[in-house]
Amino acid sequence: MASILAESEILSLAERIVIQFSGRDILNAPALTPASEVMESIKWPVCGCPARVEEPVTATLYMPKAVRDWLAMVGNGKVSAGLRKLIEMADIPELKNAWRQ
């Protein structure tokens, strides 16, 4: 697999190498930086879904095991994701809006 970092002719035309992800620079290096240093300096984004809940809190809920199992099934193995889907399915605007804040 060819890399632009190996193309000295292309790099000679550039001042900097910039890669952005979600509007933020994850790489901003001079074009003449050695390829190994460029690869090591990239600030790769964290894998997975970022937390979208502001001021999250933990609560202990007592519920039948069948409810917990259903939430886990709906949430692809995650009870919290199942609860989020349940709230989205509910026809209660105040609850949906509170979850999104």
- Average pLDDT for runs of 10 along the chain of length 101: 77 88 86 87 76 74 92 92 87 79 58
Q: Is residue 52 part of a domain?
A: no
pTM of the model: 0.45
Q: Is residue 77 part of a domain?
A: yes
Q: Is residue 58 part of a domain?
A: no
Write out the residue range of the structural domain in which residue 77 sits: 65-100
Q: Is residue 53 part of a domain?
A: no
Q: Which two tokens stand for residue 3?
A: 């890399």
- How many domains does one find in the chain? 2
